[in-house]
Structure 1
């Protein structure tokens, strides 16, 4: 029984170097208990504004204490047209190149071919600010549409023109959440996270790389120094696209032929899911592992994506060391607040924003300043139709904030206005880079670890 011998050896190595367990506390913010799809999507924007309005007003008073804060409906009561006032609302960015269901229908019926776009920004983009009652167009060179996306809660300083537009003098966002003192003073000795994403087992046939990954985590690879390093890994987080990493669309034209092809793709997905279950069960035997879904995994498409069903991973689901998480996810690992997504919110922001030279890490930091995990949801990013609450509003300042399925590894330390420090991490696609990321929970130092030649 060679498998049992290998597992026994791995257990002996872990006992030799004493791999410690660590507590994981899921805040449960993104779990949907009762599903209801009879609500309008506008409600989530009202809930978002309600959650962040007090923060924006307080910040506006600190920056512009001498100016009045008005509702949009009260702008008509201002006597002096040049008087600067403050208004609070949600940004809406009108984009002609943005996807439309009518355009998609035209393409499906082959009426008007629609070009595939990687970015929806153009010089014709217009910015509006809306509250619970009305909307006003923002103008001026002080606000750049390329830096703005739909769904941001914002305070604007300016004055209204006779034509009904609002000249922007300055504006501000909520800023990074305050950090609890307890999460700053923690010290977790010799405990580390291993972050990876994009295994893409449907298309990545390099089984040697996957074996090296499993052997490293289980302590079967390398010398004593490498095994000692592996023993410090207390939690593995796999941020989505484990089964597949691409998708195909099918049109009416030639549908029968493509439907047969679709059946082949479905079979490949089933085989890849079994392969992922086998790989994951080997990791779960020796280490705690958390798995988040992504857009190409067998989970719901809209965010927040719900955890993998136990039936999808029957072998791995039997282990107490395995935890199926949502996407996005936030919780405590040890005494560190950890948050992140499998990549969809950042990818969508990069599509609708116009700053093409910005890296995913820079947009990740912006979401901290915007105090929102996925501001473009539900406008261009599919999302569940929440009614009384918006769970994507940040309520806690994370110590570690990651985004998965990016092109390359990157990291930096973001610092807030109150001295909050957040370790930002861009996790590379494993199927392309064969690289994972190690994070020290004590120092928040991070570095890549490669398992092959990309």
Structure 2
């Protein structure tokens, strides 16, 4: 049935845009890297010391204890023992797991890049962390309970009230920070718009972490985002094709906050281009080095070229994008976008200031005015790095790969604003250009919107200038501040990674109210939290072995095992330092494509198959009871020639570390118990993996279609097979896996001298029969109560 109704054309609201060159580096020969980095901290202190001293004077003037009045001290070395005083300076934190260039230089034989650290704190020795206050005269160590209630990071400028004790340490009584910088009025840079009385009723869109890899896994999510931005989906609130204005037409500008290029797919550096592009084989400690792959940037260019005729775009680089790695990252060069660069501004004529184009490739961090509001944002590296300094308790031990640290990230963003320094840890633990005359990371003015991209989940809050620093305070889910208050008010935005959450953030250009548009191809985050909790809080008990989640107290013993050259050769592993081993433990515990258990001796009491959920005792998995580990690595296999449907394969690795524990049946018992666990929890394992990886989601959907299965929802995902790779000389391991129905996929070993064996029968009945034949009794799932 055709309708004769005519619909009026829909026009997008115009964008009022004024980018600032705060983070633009000198070009050509004017850019130098020979100078020292220490000048940045002195510049920062010189800028912020007057501001923090003003706050301190207002708070502590006339303050006294037992009749002794606190006096101001100009330099940290002028502090006198036993005298009540206050002094301003720069925080420096000496932490055991912080990167150290001297340590890096000694690793001449360390050929594999170290894993990224989740924290600079040593969980086993928190007392090793030292907090110091420094200025141009020297350093002063800070102590006291005040440090436990006020989290700090290197590079923050503070004022401290206290006394020096007999040990030469300064016991802090109170701490003050500069607080929010002066905030410009809206439209301060555009008096023409300020004179207009009619609101524009537009929206600013934010997205980050597109994670484009150049594979079919990107297609569905990007197509949905493109259709929404171009208005093809109609209005979600009013229904399609009803004559109302589409929500998309209200979007005045799209801001892409970094990591538009993904890192999951690689190309072999030795490939001549003739062979198919494949994902490198998994290794216990990361992936092989790869060469440049043009597919992701080509797909990003096509995406931008499709939406740019309709909507202006501000593109920021991120850690995985083709731009300089040190902050501030300069904009991705227009030469990378042969299609989209037509929308860039032409080069300015001699002596004229450059005008922003419809497509603006900017720096990271970036500052500018959009719809009259001052925006300051980053691609998230600053928040990620400060989080490594702090000790926010995580109830479930899931860390920053899940949802437990979302509130912590909000508190960190608030702290940065109150410190008036948005990248405090540069240049200490974030690579930075060595500025000599100015520190651009110091915030001269307070933004109206402060955002960070590539965060694990969306969160927002509004903060005010007259509120106390809440870095360890209450929840940030608050209502907007009263309109009557004249102090600065800032909207904080944690922009989630689109490739993991499918979320686009919209900010109302008049009220700064926030809404989230979520695209339906991504898993429900409630289910993701459930799966993450379940998979990291369960242990497996049998009459022969106990399997427990790999936790931080297992690391020292595991580290000793991995020093053995024979084990290194058998596992294709490189030796790691202890701190790198701690970082790797966090990765294997938290990443959705990995599942790791430590194999221990059986518990003292013989558990029967009664479904008991009694928590284990701490001594049940003590270091002396550890015998090895077993891992599951999830990967996507596109087939040898790329013609077959993608498959999700679980690759198993098994190690019984010490010779005195080998040939005792521990390996067989652990393997069979692990297989039973995988069979019982297949849906949960794969839902976690599929829900947080777009390529995995596409592969799972393709596999389901090829088999005629449901392919979606909890319980819809299935492994194509389980796999193991074993060196041809390892006869005992080959015999073990073949005895439990793993079969070689080729008669000859591969290029690396390994046989790959696969098992496609994942039925529970066959696994239970094998458990019985091996004499492994009492398979029981227990609650693992210890936190990682």
TM-score over 0.5 for the pair: yes
TM range (shorter): 0.7 to 0.9
Change over 3 Å in CA distance of 1:149–1:246 after alignment to 2: farther
Equivalent pairs counted in the alignment come to: 428
Q: 1:179 aligns with which of 176, 180, 183?
A: 183
> Could you give the per-residue CA deviations for residues 154-180 of structure 1, whole angstroms, max 9, x where no partner exists?
101112234322121111111112223
> Could you give the per-residue CA deviations for residues 111-151 of structure 1, whole angstroms, max 9, x where no partner exists?
99978641111311001100112111111111228811111
Match of 1:242 in 2: 260
Q: Which moved more, 1:331-340 or 1:160-169?
A: 160-169
RMSD, aligned α-carbons: 2.8
Match of 1:361 in 2: 410
> Could you give the per-residue CA deviations for residues 273-317 of structure 1, whole angstroms, max 9, x where no partner exists?
011001011111111100000011000000100001111112111
Question: Which stretches in structure 1 are left out of the alignment for 5+ residues?
Answer: 1-11, 251-256
**1:386: how far off?**
0.8
Matched, 1:118 2:118: yes
Match of 1:253 in 2: none
**1:245: how far off?**
4.4
Match of 2:781 in 1: none
**Distance in 2, Cα, partners of 1:139 & 1:261:** 44
Match of 2:90 in 1: 90
Matched, 1:448 2:516: yes
Change over 3 Å in CA distance of 1:245–1:398 after alignment to 2: farther
Change over 3 Å in CA distance of 1:94–1:261 after alignment to 2: closer
- Equivalent position SS for 1:449: strand
**Distance in 2, Cα, partners of 1:389 & 1:362:** 27
Instruction: Within 5 Å, give how 1:16-415 maps onto structure 2.
Output: 16-33=9-26, 34-66=30-62, 67-72=70-75, 75=78, 78=80, 81-107=81-107, 109-110=109-110, 117-122=117-122, 123=126, 124-144=128-148, 147-182=151-186, 188-202=199-213, 205-222=217-234, 223-224=240-241, 228-245=246-263, 262-263=289-290, 265-267=291-293, 270-319=294-343, 320-357=357-394, 358=405, 359-415=408-464
**TM-score normalised to structure 1 length:** 0.87
Q: Which moved more, 1:356-365 or 1:134-143?
A: 356-365
Change over 3 Å in CA distance of 1:17–1:368 after alignment to 2: same
**Distance in 2, Cα, partners of 1:111 & 1:289:** 40
Change over 3 Å in CA distance of 1:101–1:420 after alignment to 2: same
> Could you give the per-residue CA deviations for residues 214-240 of structure 1, whole angstroms, max 9, x where no partner exists?
121112223247852111100000011
Change over 3 Å in CA distance of 1:262–1:224 after alignment to 2: same
Question: Which stretches in structure 2 are left out of the alignment for 5+ residues?
Answer: 1-5, 63-69, 235-239, 269-280, 344-356, 395-404, 467-485, 523-788
**Distance in 2, Cα, partners of 1:325 & 1:288:** 13
Match of 2:672 in 1: none
**1:451: how far off?**
2.2
**Distance in 1, Cα, partners of 2:148 & 2:223:** 48
- Equivalent position SS for 1:16: coil
Match of 1:5 in 2: none
CA contact (8 A) 1:194 1:436 kept: yes
**Distance in 1, Cα, partners of 2:159 & 2:187:** 29
- Equivalent position SS for 2:246: helix
CA contact (8 A) 1:295 1:344 kept: yes
Larger relative contact order (Cα-Cα within 8 Å, sequence gap ≥ 6):
1
Between structure 1 and structure 2, the one with the greater Rg is 2
Change over 3 Å in CA distance of 1:26–1:181 after alignment to 2: closer
**Distance in 2, Cα, partners of 1:322 & 1:35:** 26
> Could you give the per-residue CA deviations for residues 2-60 of structure 1, whole angstroms, max 9, x where no partner exists?
xxxxxxxxxx99x8222122221112110002311111110000000011011011111
**Distance in 2, Cα, partners of 1:440 & 1:87:** 43
> Could you give the per-residue CA deviations for residues 171-227 of structure 1, whole angstroms, max 9, x where no partner exists?
111111222344699784311111001111117623122112112111222324785
**1:272: how far off?**
0.7
